[in-house]
Amino acid sequence: AQSVTQLDSHVSVSEGTPVLLRCNYSSSYSPSLFWYVQHPNKGLQLLLKYTSAATLVKGINGFEAEFKKSETSFHLTKPSAHMSDAAEYFCVVSAINYGQNFVFGPGTRLSVLP
Amino acid sequence: KAGVTQTPRYLIKTRGQQVTLSCSPISGHRSVSWYQQTPGQGLQFLFEYFSETQRNKGNFPGRFSGRQFSNSRSEMNVSTLELGDSALYLCASSFQGATNEKLFFGSGTQLSVL
């Protein structure tokens, strides 16, 4: 069965410093991997996705993630945090290779300090 | 283009009652999936519908059911409500429901069971 581990439930950074949100996955086949963000009282929004093309994936708002098969990791990074980045971030893996059945990680809450 | 619309936004029910939630996907999207979000369990997949057929199902009891209409609108029903069913129910749509496709989420229906 597919699974996702997000190693930190809460990450706190200062504005202007780098962001690293860690994600490890388990999958019995080549999965599709995603990062979604959920701002308070707003719906989930896709940040970026990996689908077996380039291993370094660029997303919206300056975020990027690197797929490392040997480490089964898909960590999310951003060079410089902004106050508006404060939100809950979810790493997601496709559970099957047909249709849509996604496994969400438990989430990492990102706080950005002024 | 209108986004994914979920109604109602809030619901309060008592144990033993049943409830129906509605989701209108983005125009042209044929796949609709449902997720339950709780503080303890996170986001969990309920089921996915594609062209009026349930294509995938998560690990939830039979009290949770759904359907999709010819215009792709979807409803989910929970019968014999339990206190543990209190959650944010999120609906997501995508064009074809492929494993590498982006999900577009609605704002959710917050269900409280008293």
Is a pLDDT exceeding 70 seen at residue A93? yes
Give the best residue of B91, B103, B109 to mutate against chain A (max A CB count within 10 A): B103
pLDDT band with cut points at 50, 70 and 90 for residue B108: very high
**Residue of chain A minimizing CA distance to B43:** A104
Residues 6+ apart with CB under 8 A from A84: none
Q: State how far Cα B97 lies from the chain centre.
A: 15
Which of A49, A100, A104 minimises the CB distance to B48? A100
Q: What is the mean pLDDT of chain A?
A: 91
Token digits for B18?
């049943």
Residues 6+ apart with CB under 8 A from A109: A9, A10, A11, A87, A88, A89
The reported pLDDT for the residue numbered A37 is 97
pLDDT tens digits for B61-77?
999 999 999 999 999 99
Q: Is B31 in contact with A100 (Cβ distance < 8 A)? A: yes
Q: Is A102 in contact with B45 (Cβ distance < 8 A)? A: yes
Is a pLDDT exceeding 70 seen at residue A95? no
Q: How near does any CA of chain B get to the CA of A44, in Å?
A: 6
The reported pLDDT for the residue numbered A99 is 62
Is a pLDDT exceeding 80 seen at residue A98? no
List of E strands, chain A: 3-6, 10-14, 19-21, 23-26, 33-38, 44-50, 56-58, 64-68, 73-78, 87-94, 102-104, 108-113
